[in-house]
Copies of this chain bind each other. A is one copy, B any other.
Amino acid sequence: MGHEFTGEVVELGEGVAEFQQGDLVVVNPLISCGHCKMCKRGDQQNCSRRSIIGIHHPGAFAEYIKVPASACFPVRDALAGALVEPLACGIRAVEQAKVSLDDNVVVFGAGIIGLFSLKAASLRGAGQLILIDTNDERLERGKAFGATHTLNPKNVDVVEKVREITGGSVEKVIDAVGLPATRQQGIAMAESGGRVVFIGLHEDDTVIPGNVIVRKEIEIVGSFSYSDQNFAQGLSLIEKNAVVPDASWLHVRPLEEGKSSFDEQIDGSAQYPKIMLSV
């Protein structure tokens, strides 16, 4: 386990000239083959042989791990560097959404992927940026990521309220939750010709209104991790401090607290969108 991480180079493979021992690097955990049709056209995230360090290969919850040199990129700061991966996911979601200048964008889910999608949408010049979550503390943090409005479905009919805020013009929706309810609400909010990105992974079976999709020419599109280009964009933005780790949403804990931290995330009691474990 552990796929978002930075580390220090302690040993070099044969022929690796671009790094030295002691270098601080972030690792792109998505390993692609480089030769299939998807890789050849720049969609490494859809590589037919893709694998992920931390899932298919041993990950960063270990003292040392072995990774390809081509997956390593120098970073200035260990903590910020570990944010490249989730930011790249947000950049991908916003690319899949094709957010353009002054588009109104709704994001479901104030977890780290939702927040970084929000941030990427904000950087691309979105108009109204509406964040929806059931956790008020997380919603509050969304403002630092660019939310112009935050909505809690416990308190309001979010479809109705979004219509009120936007006058019905919702060009783009990003669902970073992955429940049938949020996916359906996203489709219900989108204007004709609007784009709804599914990035959240929870339940699989989801009922959608097929005829509404036709009559309003709605587009639904999946977003999975990121292309190599998205990772490079994320890295560049982190290195320029476009996103700075902040104690209000990022909690650093010792690796030993890994298990309790996961439990918190799963039972929903976690107040921090992001918890990092440090050795």
Contacts and interface: CB of A to CB of B under 8 A. Distances in A.
Interface string A89-129: 00100111000111000000000000000001001110100
A6 interface: no
Given A203-B210, A204-B210, A210-B178, A222 B232 contact: no
A101 B96 contact: no
B228 A224 contact: no
Contacts of A37: 169, 229, 232
Contacts of A228: 40-41
B222 A221 contact: no
Number of chain copies forming the complex:
4
Contacts of A102: 233, 236-237
B217 A220 contact: no
A153 interface: no
Nearest to A193: B46
A210 B218 contact: no
Interface in A28-76: 34-35, 37-38, 40-46, 48, 70
A70 B91 CA distance: 31
A199 B218 CA distance: 11
B214 A178 contact: yes
Interface of A: 34-35, 37-38, 40-46, 48, 70, 91, 94-96, 100-102, 120, 123-125, 127, 169, 178, 180, 183, 192-193, 198-224, 227-229, 232-233, 236-237, 240
Q: Nearest 8 pairs between A and B by C-beta?
A: A42-B42, A46-B192, A123-B125, A41-B42, A206-B210, A213-B222, A214-B222, A220-B220
8 contacts: A37-B232, A40-B232, A43-B217, A45-B217, A102-B236, A204-B210, A205-B207, A206-B207
